[in-house]
Amino acid sequence: MTSALSRTALFASWHRHLASERRAAAKTLEAYGRDVRQFLDFLETRPQARIEKLAAADIRAFMAARRAEGVVGRTLMRQLAAIRSFLRFLEREGVADASALAVVQGPKLPRSLPKPLSASAARSVADVATRAGEEREPWVLARDAAVLALLYGCGLRISEALGILAEDAPSDARDVLRITGKGGKTRMVPVIAPVQRAVADYVAQCPYALAAGTPLFRGAKGGPLNPRIVQRAMEMMRGALGLPATATPHALRHSFATHLLGRGGDLRAIQELLGHASLSTTQIYTEVDSARLLAVFDQTHPRARRAG
């Protein structure tokens, strides 16, 4: 097999390629790097394995070993993606033959539907009055309500909401947000009046100077707001409203899409609002809406009730 020094050099070259040419996110670089290092360490236990021309059995054996260690399907899918990226890079560099990848299939993942909140629950979560009894500074409660309002009212991810700069804050004069999502893809998202008001309430109460070029949403000490704070705020809402554990900040984005679709929203338009690269990703919300309608039918139609 390739010497340890060569493997180290090949790994470093591929990692630089991911960072500079593919512009992978920091978390992707960290996870993929860890995955490929684990794979290379595993190959050391298989004397017959040659990285220049790996057999499909070598890759399958690694996946089986990881599963035996308790690694779940989604992590295995990511590890296979990392290995694929590494081997295809080596193939382009003329170092390895990646043909074995063609016959290696990833693990089958259970298909789970997004779990949106009801419209009334989603509105309550984004209402500052829901947490009025808490011993928190009013501006903090207004801030949390504004972030959650953006997640539900605009279908944003937490990272997208917290990435908004002060000068881009929604207002009466600015009812459209330019959002940069996954993969650097930019989209325009309209901001409805209740969300504008929630953000305006926060801006009016925020004790820190919201200068141009700085984050709109601030933590208690004035720095950028940590996503974990938003998650904790949602946990407080779950307790106050009696919501299930599936009521997370990201569930508000699911709720945005599901409620739009349920009101007759166009699937292509919802795709653009969410920033999905593929329509197939957005189509899962049609299944959510169908499941909801069937559940209502089963609960309410007199002929739908099953015999006990």
Q: Mark whether 82 and 162 lie in a shared domain.
A: no
Of 218, 253, 254, 259, which one is the catalytic site residue? Answer: 253
Q: Is 305 considered catalytic here?
A: no
Residue 172 belongs to some domain of the structure: yes
Q: Mark whether 96 and 191 lie in a shared domain.
A: no
pTM of the model: 0.63
User: What SS3 class is residue 99?
Assistant: helix
Q: How many domains does the chain have?
A: 2
Of 7, 157, 218, 254, which one is the catalytic site residue? Answer: 157
Residue 134 belongs to some domain of the structure: yes
Q: Mark whether 70 and 173 lie in a shared domain.
A: no
First to last CA, the chain: 65
Residues 223-267 have pLDDT tens digits of 999 999 999 999 988 988 999 998 999 999 999 988 888 888 888
- 103, 135, 159 - which closes a domain: 103
Residues 94-152 have pLDDT tens digits of 988 989 888 888 777 666 666 888 999 999 998 988 888 788 899 999 999 999 999 99
Q: Mark whether 213 and 142 lie in a shared domain.
A: yes
Task: Give the tokens for residue 78.
Answer: 């990511």
The neighbouring-strand residues paired with 165 are: 215
Cα–Cα distance measured from residue 125 to residue 304, given in angstroms and rounded to the nearest whole number: 33
Residue 110 belongs to some domain of the structure: no
| CATH number, position 162 | 1.10.443.10
What's the pLDDT band for 296 if we cut at 50, 70, 90? Answer: very low
Q: Is 187 considered catalytic here?
A: no
Residues 4-40 have pLDDT tens digits of 558 788 899 999 998 887 778 788 889 999 999 999 9
Task: Give the tokens for residue 20.
Answer: 């500079």
| Stretch (H or E) spanning 178 | strand 176-180
Q: Mark whether 178 and 265 lie in a shared domain.
A: yes
Of 60, 131, 197, 250, which one is the catalytic site residue? Answer: 250
| CATH number, position 59 | 1.10.150.130
**C-alpha to C-alpha distances, 290 to 93, 112, 122, 161, nearest whole angstrom:** 48, 14, 20, 29
CB count in 10 Å sphere of residue 294? 11
> What residues make up the domain containing 250?
119-299
